[in-house]
Structure 1
Amino acid sequence: MDNPKAEVREHSTFGRGVFAAESILAGEAIAMFDGEFYEEGDPDYPWEVDDYVLQFAEDRWRDSKGIARVLNHSCQPNIGIRNAFRLIAMRDIAPDEELCYDYAMAEDGQWQLDCQCGSPNCRGRMAGFAALPESVRESYQGFISHWLVEKYQLDSTWSGGPVDI
């Protein structure tokens, strides 16, 4: 379920992005990863979705049927993950502001990519949760995927509530 206050627009750097069409309040649901499930090693895995899926277990990912598919990464996100698949506003968001989350809020592993988010807090590289500085991890408390909370044995307040699988 996509928030009607969010819309896909052209993005000068990334081709597309999701932007606030009007004010969005902290805690409002933005989007869901509500599509197909994929498992590592699946011979029928459609590699074209690799940039659009959300990791929710060590070897499992889920796609979206909506705008979550085109949300860009930011090292200074304004939306985060609640439970397993829901993305919510971390703070009040102004009209025309791009909606972004830090991919490390759900991803883990050895991957790394150059970051071009352009935020004042840009780390220069995108990587999994394990690579986040402790201060960044703490600032994401309540907005981290449930599976990372379990993997790293974090207090349950880190995931923001019960799992919504």
Structure 2
Amino acid sequence: MTSPSFQPTPSIPFELRQSPIQGTGAFATRRIRKGARIIEYIGERITQAEADARYDDESMERHHTFLFNLDDDTVLDAGTLHNESRYINHSCEPNCQSLIDKGRIHIYALRAIEPGEELSYDYAYERSPEMEADAESLYVCRCGTPSCRGTILAPEKKAPARRKKAAPKSKSTSKTQVASKSKSKAAKKSKAAPPAAAKKKRGTQRAKSPGRGRRAAS
């Protein structure tokens, strides 16, 4: 936390200390209102190709990284340049979310957060077609929440549920209706975005090689 690449953020509403989830975590020091912008996620801006070269990890020895996709061409690497946001842990039931706004990534409160609560957001590490079947075991989640999916990888996409056909009232065949599901984040339950997030952009998804996990913003 005091390395030359660490850039402290003034007046943040949380402190860093040991986390029951993993390593160092961020804990609220005062009440944080729903929708509040908490901190910017900073990192060294590098290209996708440079990130692949920097974390050329076919052996999966360095599958956990601080890479965060900004767009199709740019990645933020908080493994080098970073601030306190790097220590906000993952949770499958997060109280925060990451949003892209004008080329920057910020962490927002999904709900009111009380003093002493650990801050968390869903990392939603992007899945790659090249990942092995046991890849989830390499990205284990330790949040311990009731809905924990056991991994920090984003959930696999599922086909939308289909409604049961109603009995036709005439000779014409009724069409099967497909239920539309609203999704806010690849690895989250549907939640209302904070008021300040109306103009925020979604992070772009891009398939990666195994071992080069990227976090994806909402």
Q: Which amino acid aligns with 1:45?
A: R
2:117 maps to 1:94: no
Gaps of 5+ in 2: 1-8, 57-61, 159-180, 207-216
How far, CA to CA, are the matches of 2:91 and 2:201 in structure 1? 16
How far, CA to CA, are the matches of 1:2 and 1:132 in structure 2? 39
Superposed CA RMSD: 3.3
Query: Any residues of structure 2 matched to 1:70-89 within 5 Å, and which?
Result: 70-83=87-100, 84-89=104-109
How far, CA to CA, are the matches of 2:95 and 2:47 in structure 1? 29
Query: Any residues of structure 2 matched to 1:12-161 within 5 Å, and which?
Result: 12-42=20-50, 45=54, 51-58=65-72, 60-64=74-78, 65-83=82-100, 84-104=104-124, 107-110=125-128, 112=136, 113-128=139-154, 131=156, 137=188, 139-140=190-191, 142=193, 146-148=202-204
TM-score (norm 2): 0.56
Which residue is 1:155 aligned to? none
Which residue is 1:163 aligned to? none
Aligned length: 149
TM-score (norm 1): 0.72
Instruction: Give the SS at the match of 1:41.
Output: helix
How far, CA to CA, are the matches of 2:10 and 2:27 in structure 1? 12
How far, CA to CA, are the matches of 1:124 and 1:145 in structure 2? 28
Q: Percent identity?
A: 27
Q: Does the Cα contact within 8 Å between 2:44 and 2:76 map onto a contact in 1?
A: yes
Instruction: Give the SS at the match of 1:146.
Output: coil
How far, CA to CA, are the matches of 1:41 and 1:82 in structure 2? 23
1:25 to 1:88, Cα distance in 2 relative to 1, 3 A = same
Q: Which amino acid aligns with 2:152?
A: M
CA offset at residue 126 of structure 1? 2.1
How far, CA to CA, are the matches of 1:79 and 1:22 in structure 2? 15
Q: Does the Cα contact within 8 Å between 1:52 and 1:70 map onto a contact in 2?
A: no
CA offset at residue 38 of structure 1? 2.2
Q: Which amino acid aligns with 1:108?
A: E
Q: Does the Cα contact within 8 Å between 2:92 and 2:188 map onto a contact in 1?
A: no
How far, CA to CA, are the matches of 2:188 and 2:23 in structure 1? 29
Ranked by relative contact order (alpha carbons within 8 Å, sequence separation 6 or more), the top structure is: 2
Cα-to-partner distance string for 1:76-112 (whole Å, 9 max, x where unaligned): 00000222501100000011100000011xx423264
Gaps of 5+ in 1: 152-157, 160-165
CA offset at residue 146 of structure 1? 1.6
Q: Does the Cα contact within 8 Å between 1:56 and 1:145 map onto a contact in 2?
A: no
